[in-house]
Structure 1
Amino acid sequence: MAAITYEHIKTCKQTGARLGIVHTPHGSFETPAFMPVGTQASVKTMSPEELKAMNAGIILSNTYHLWLRPGYEIIKEAGGLHKFMNWDRPILTDSGGFQVFSLSKFRDIKEEGVHFRNHINGDKLFLSPEKAMEIQNALGPDIMMAFDECPPFPATHEYMKASVERTSRWAERCLDSHARPSEQALFGIVQGGEYEDLRKQSAKDLVSLDFPGYAIGGLSVGEPKDIMNKALEFTTPLLPQDKPRYLMGVGSPDSLIDGAIRGIDMFDCVLPTRIARNGTLMTSEGRLVVKNAKYERDFGPLDPNCDCYTCKNYSRAYVRHLIRAGETFGIRLTSYHNLHFLLNLMEQIRQAIREDRLGDFREEFFEQYGFNKPNAKNF
């Protein structure tokens, strides 16, 4: 029996976006879904209860970081990640590949895996498909990711071709060494950068291995948004209709809408909490930098159209003061607001799909948010 199942509810007649439900051993979540990122088994400054209050159906945690600290053996001893962090809803873990390729200054890619240095203390480490499966099997998430190579942007066609072929071989090794397929769903990751022929090859290789879900990797790594959207347009149709599709590392409001329109079911990104820490907010009227002097005597809410805990209780002037003073409570308030904003946006996207009007919703949102203006500020 499969660890997860995807239930298709509806296709938006206007855009082709999908409404669905993913059923997992720790409950179900509606799609399209945004997953808050809990890098160290914690979504920065947020409690599990607060995440539930803002309707987070699933969160993501990072294999690489938990392997280094506190160690996956300790989490296994605690009864797995769900018990360790007191979260009883679904969890997805990444494979650690992205962190190995982005954080480590020294890395040596071999067929057997990647030799690299711990970014904390410089120790030599080795991560392979088999090791990534061992760690994730011990952590116990509902959804786990195959170990892949994460090439930079831009990369030559020749380099990307070799990388795609290696990722396909590694994916097969991940399947072979996955110890708990009936309890944890393993997703394959389609790579290929901006090259249509390589995306097609990667998707063909992975679909032949019959994973229970598929991720699209190697986007949102510095390429222009039109290149990302074009890559999605030729990649998503190659993936099975009856399985979830996950676009990795994407979390700006415009990209969530555009991704859903192109058939994506799941998204994750550190963006909402990362920008919150320096006082940048997502609001119904666009980007707001609360540290700016013009908010010093602004006693209105961060977003007058938001009903989150922060906006119902605190003013722009107060939050500005906290952020400028370096108070943790200020970061909690801005993080809460940004996460609530994105999770509420996903509900608006799902409702627009139900009503067959996601294209209209996109136009309205982009106009209100200012994405249609020349030189519009994004995140």
Structure 2
Amino acid sequence: MEFEFSVTQVHNKARTGRLVTPHGTVETPLFMPVGTQATVKGISNRELVEVGSQIVLANTYHLMLRPGPERIAGLGGLHGFTGYTGPWLTDSGGFQVMSLGHRRVISEEGVTFSNHLNGDRTLLTPERSITVQEQLGADIIMAFDECPPYPAERDYLEASLERTLRWLERSLAAKTRSDQALFGITQGGVEPDLRRASTLETIKFDLPGYAIGGLAVGEPKEKMIQAVELSTDILPPDRPRYLMGVGHPEDLVAGVALGVDMFDCVYPTRTGRFGYALVDEGRLNLSSARYKDDPEPIDPACDCYACQNHSRAYLTHLVRAGEMLGLRLLSLHNLRYLHRLMEEARRAIATGSYGEFARRFAARRWPAGEPAWFRQAMERAGVW
């Protein structure tokens, strides 16, 4: 089946869409849980489906090291190996260029890592990244890129931008499977002219989809929003737009308003493992003694298993006792929270009421008034 994307509804810059992949059709905008080691930590495949997950992300670098792409390919790729038969997306390993900065050396050929498992030297090139991703068999694969940190000197940003474009060309040349969609990744940090140049050069490759990379790495929210708006204004309207590494609820609401279709982040599950539950007002710290006698669910409006069956008091007991069930239930709830948020966003776009949806969200999130960056995002999106 060919990869297809169609926009179904538009409200100012926000839009809904339908993304067809070889392993299923999904509705956008959507949030993708991160399964770094081919698993979303502590969550079963059945639970992923039950909470509303549509695409799961896996990590090329980590799976290349363990258990190895050849083993996964021999067992049916990610779909056969894991038993999760819905769409998969694999990153390229480019984020590890930044996150493992103390363990890597960048050259034109690629990136040499000091293997975090045993210290061996491992070379990851655009060609190797694509080969590994083809062995993993994801529906959507990413071009190898260099994700610069924040802050970074302008000279470094320019060099990494140009290198990412050359690596994109090599990634595309290395691709052999017709049943996988290769997305390009734009860079340029938060420098408007560099971000614009990267985006304009990347779309010349006429790819099935595009990712906005190099954001949510420590930059101020105002600068992130400016870079997102600049990017979505340039990216082709008939291709999916993926904002990489973004998962805070307020960032999703702002990103959707500006025309983003896809998001991913470890935030909901990592936050759950730290004992926090996501709610409209922010986060509940369920390791706190204040909830030890609270009979209410995490969120009375939530339809997840944790909220339908357990109290804050019980979940606090599990967290404080170090029981893994508590952290699993919080992770499930947090995923469901973000999926419900995206479901509400899709309904609001379809009914032309995204502004009202965003105002309700902001009123719950910030009773004393929304921050300037969020208000500016809504104004630039034309919904306020």
TM-score normalised according to structure 2 size: 0.94
For structure 2, the 5+ residue unaligned runs are 373-384
Aligned ranges for residues 218-233 of structure 1 at < 5 Å? 218-233=214-229
Residue 354 of structure 2 corresponds to residue 355 of structure 1: no
Q: Any conservation in 2 of the 1:281–1:288 contact (CA below 8 Å)?
A: yes
Residue type at the aligned position of 1:56: S
Residues 187-231 of structure 1: CA deviation (Å, up to 9, x unaligned): 000000011111111112111111110000000000111110011
Sort the Cα spacing of 1:374 and 1:35 in 2 relative to 1 into closer, same or farther, 3 A: closer
Sort the Cα spacing of 1:374 and 1:285 in 2 relative to 1 into closer, same or farther, 3 A: closer
**Offset of residue 19 of structure 1:** 0.6
| CA distance in 1 between partners of 2:79 and 2:368 (Å) | 42
Residue 75 of structure 2 corresponds to residue 51 of structure 1: no
Residue type at the aligned position of 1:111: E
Aligned ranges for residues 42-191 of structure 1 at < 5 Å? 42-180=39-177, 182-191=178-187
Equivalent position of 1:9 in the other structure = 8
Aligned ranges for residues 312-323 of structure 1 at < 5 Å? 312-323=308-319
**Offset of residue 184 of structure 1:** 0.2
Equivalent position of 1:265 in the other structure = 261
SS across alignment from 1:105: helix
**Offset of residue 121 of structure 1:** 1.8
Equivalent position of 1:290 in the other structure = 286
Aligned ranges for residues 319-334 of structure 1 at < 5 Å? 319-334=315-330
| CA distance in 2 between partners of 1:178 and 1:101 (Å) | 24
Residues 143-178 of structure 1: CA deviation (Å, up to 9, x unaligned): 000000111101122110111000000000000001
| CA distance in 1 between partners of 2:333 and 2:254 (Å) | 22
SS across alignment from 1:331: helix
Residues 20-76 of structure 1: CA deviation (Å, up to 9, x unaligned): 010000011000010011111111111111111112111111111111111111000
Residue type at the aligned position of 2:276: T
| CA distance in 2 between partners of 1:242 and 1:375 (Å) | 32
Equivalent position of 2:340 in the other structure = 344
Q: Any conservation in 2 of the 1:215–1:245 contact (CA below 8 Å)?
A: yes
Residue type at the aligned position of 1:317: A
**Offset of residue 258 of structure 1:** 0.3
Equivalent position of 1:244 in the other structure = 240
Sort the Cα spacing of 1:89 and 1:243 in 2 relative to 1 into closer, same or farther, 3 A: same
What do you get for the CA RMSD once the two structures are aligned? 1.6
Count of residues in correspondence between the two structures: 373
SS across alignment from 2:133: helix
Q: Any conservation in 2 of the 1:191–1:202 contact (CA below 8 Å)?
A: yes
SS across alignment from 2:210: strand
| CA distance in 1 between partners of 2:318 and 2:123 (Å) | 42
Segments ≥4 residues shifted beyond 4 Å: 371-376
Residues 275-333 of structure 1: CA deviation (Å, up to 9, x unaligned): 10111111133321111111111121111221210011111111111111111111111
Q: Any conservation in 2 of the 1:116–1:126 contact (CA below 8 Å)?
A: yes
SS across alignment from 2:122: strand
SS across alignment from 1:120: coil
TM-score normalised according to structure 1 size: 0.96
For structure 1, the 5+ residue unaligned runs are none
| CA distance in 2 between partners of 1:204 and 1:365 (Å) | 33
Equivalent position of 1:210 in the other structure = 206
| CA distance in 2 between partners of 1:370 and 1:238 (Å) | 31
Percent of pairs with identical residues: 53
